[in-house]
Structure 1
Amino acid sequence: MRRLSFADLQKGYERRGTLALLFLTDRCPVGCGHCSVDSRPDSPRITDFALFEEVVEGICALPGVRVIGISGGEPFVERRGLSLASRRIHESGKELILYTSGFWGPPDPGDDGARRAPAWARAVLRRATGVFLSTDAYHEESVHEYRFTGAARAVAAEDVWLVVQVVNEPAMVARAEELLTRAFGLDWPSHAEVATVPPLPYGRAGSLDSPLFRRERPRRPGESFGRCRTANVPTIRYDGTATACCNEMVITGAGPRRLRHRCTDRHEVTAALTGFTHDSLYRAVGTVGPGMITVHPRYQDLAGREFTGICELCWVMAERTPAESKDNLIDAIRVLGEEQVG
Structure 2
Amino acid sequence: MTARLNHRAIVDIRRTRGRSVLLFITDRCPVGCGHCSVDSRPDSPRITDFALLESIVDRLAGIEGLEMAGISGGEPFVERRGLTRTVRQLSEAGKHVVIYTSGFWARSERAPQWIHDVLDRSAVIYLSTDAYHVAGQGPERFGHAARVIAGHEVPIVVQCIDEGDTLQRAEEALTKALGRDWSAYAELIPTHGLPHGRGADHYSFQERTQGSDFGPCDVVDATVVRYDGRVTACCNESVIMGAGPAALRADCTTGEEVEAAVRDFHADPFYRALGSVGPGALTALPRYNDLAERHYSSICGLCWAMTRRNSEAGARTDAPLLTAIAGIGRDHTGREEHTA
TM-score, length of structure 2 as denominator length? 0.92
Q: Confirm whether residue 182 of structure 1 aligns to residue 171 of structure 2.
A: no
Q: How do residues 5-154 of structure 1 correspond to structure 2 at under 5 angstroms?
A: 5-107=6-108, 113=109, 116-154=110-148
- In 2, the alpha carbon distance for the partners of 1:59 and 1:282 equals 20
**Alpha-carbon distance, 1:336 to partner:** 4.6
Deviating more after overlay: 317-326 vs 199-208: 317-326
Q: Which amino acid aligns with 1:263?
A: C
> In structure 1, which of residues 304, 307, 310 is the aligned counterpart of residue 296 of structure 2?
307
Deviating more after overlay: 236-245 vs 52-61: 52-61
Contact 2:216/2:332 (<8 A) preserved: no
> In structure 2, which of residues 180, 187, 210 is the aligned counterpart of residue 193 of structure 1?
187
Q: Confirm whether residue 204 of structure 1 aligns to residue 193 of structure 2.
A: no
**Alpha-carbon distance, 1:324 to partner:** 5.8
**Alpha-carbon distance, 1:169 to partner:** 2.5
Q: Confirm whether residue 332 of structure 1 aligns to residue 333 of structure 2.
A: no
Counterpart of 1:165 in structure 2 is 159
Contact 2:276/2:327 (<8 A) preserved: no
Deviating more after overlay: 320-329 vs 243-252: 320-329
- In structure 1, runs of 5+ residues without a counterpart are 108-112
**Alpha-carbon distance, 1:330 to partner:** 2.1
- SS of 2:219's equivalent? helix
- In 2, the alpha carbon distance for the partners of 1:47 and 1:7 equals 35
Aligned residues: 329
Contact 1:293/1:334 (<8 A) preserved: no
**Alpha-carbon distance, 1:63 to partner:** 2.6
1:246–1:63 Cα change, 3 Å? farther
- SS of 1:163's equivalent? strand
- In 1, the alpha carbon distance for the partners of 2:31 and 2:209 equals 36
**Alpha-carbon distance, 1:338 to partner:** 5.5
Contact 2:56/2:256 (<8 A) preserved: no
Q: Deviations over 1:101-130 (max 9, x none)?
A: 0000034xxxxx2xx111111111111000
- In 2, the alpha carbon distance for the partners of 1:315 and 1:78 equals 32
Contact 2:277/2:325 (<8 A) preserved: no
Q: Deviations over 1:108-157 (max 9, x none)?
A: xxxxx2xx111111111111000000000000012222211111111111
Counterpart of 2:233 in structure 1 is 244
Q: Which amino acid aligns with 1:69?
A: G
Q: How much identity, in percent, do the aligned residues show? A: 49
1:145–1:59 Cα change, 3 Å? same
Q: Which amino acid aligns with 1:182?
A: K
Q: Confirm whether residue 279 of structure 1 aligns to residue 268 of structure 2.
A: yes
Contact 1:58/1:268 (<8 A) preserved: no
- SS of 2:39's equivalent? coil
Deviating more after overlay: 141-150 vs 18-27: 141-150
Contact 2:277/2:328 (<8 A) preserved: no
**Alpha-carbon distance, 1:62 to partner:** 2.5
Dislocated runs of 4+, deviation >6 Å: none
Deviating more after overlay: 309-318 vs 185-194: 185-194
- In 1, the alpha carbon distance for the partners of 2:96 and 2:328 equals 33
Q: Deviations over 1:199-258 (max 9, x none)?
A: 2111101012xxxx24x5222221111100100010100000000111211112111110
Q: Confirm whether residue 267 of structure 1 aligns to residue 256 of structure 2.
A: yes
Q: Deviations over 1:47-94 (max 9, x none)?
A: 011111112112222232211100000000000000011011101101
Q: Confirm whether residue 223 of structure 1 aligns to residue 212 of structure 2.
A: yes
**Alpha-carbon distance, 1:96 to partner:** 0.5
**Alpha-carbon distance, 1:315 to partner:** 0.6
- In 1, the alpha carbon distance for the partners of 2:332 and 2:170 equals 40
TM-score, length of structure 1 as denominator length? 0.91
**Alpha-carbon distance, 1:166 to partner:** 0.3
> In structure 1, which of residues 266, 272, 291 is the aligned counterpart of residue 280 of structure 2?
291
Counterpart of 1:110 in structure 2 is none
- SS of 1:142's equivalent? helix
> In structure 2, which of residues 224, 229, 235 is the aligned counterpart of residue 235 of structure 1?
224
Q: Which amino acid aligns with 1:218?
A: E
